[in-house]
Structure 1
Amino acid sequence: MEPTCVRCQETIETTVYQCSHACTFCEPCTKTLDHICQNCGELLEPATPVTT
């Protein structure tokens, strides 16, 4: 299941950006928000992929 951007509701197929509360944003929305989470005000950073 692909993550969904909390701002635009689009499925994220490229880089996922997250704050420390795991809010997920697509790259265009992250750039629009200047890398600041709209929900908590924390920095949005590229999420580390989970490997199994």
Structure 2
Amino acid sequence: MALEMKTNCQTCDTSLQGDSEAYICVYECTFCPPCTENTHHVCPNCGGELVRRPKRKK
């Protein structure tokens, strides 16, 4: 099963490309680095930990 690589931050709608730095929780909620820092690496949707999303191979 592959990750769904969402293309926008779910808080501020910043564009996130496949190779952009982004953070996800276990439900694949996706956030940009500044929004992740603002929530102290806690998903505002489910309360789970936000970890760095793996980058796709080029």
Q: Taking structure 2 as the reference length, what is the TM-score of the superposition? A: 0.77
**Structure 1: which 4+ aligned runs deviate by more than 3 Å?**
none
- Alignment partner, residue 3 of structure 2: none
Out of 22, 25, 30, the residue aligned to residue 19 of structure 1 is 25
Give distance in 1, aligned partners of 2:28 and 2:57: 17
Q: CA RMSD in A?
A: 2.1
What number of residue pairs does the alignment pair up?
52
Name structure 2 gaps, 5 residues minimum: 1-5
Name structure 1 gaps, 5 residues minimum: none
Q: Taking structure 1 as the reference length, what is the TM-score of the superposition? A: 0.84
| Offset, 1:51 | 3.2
Give distance in 1, aligned partners of 2:52 and 2:36: 10
Give distance in 2, aligned partners of 1:50 and 1:12: 12
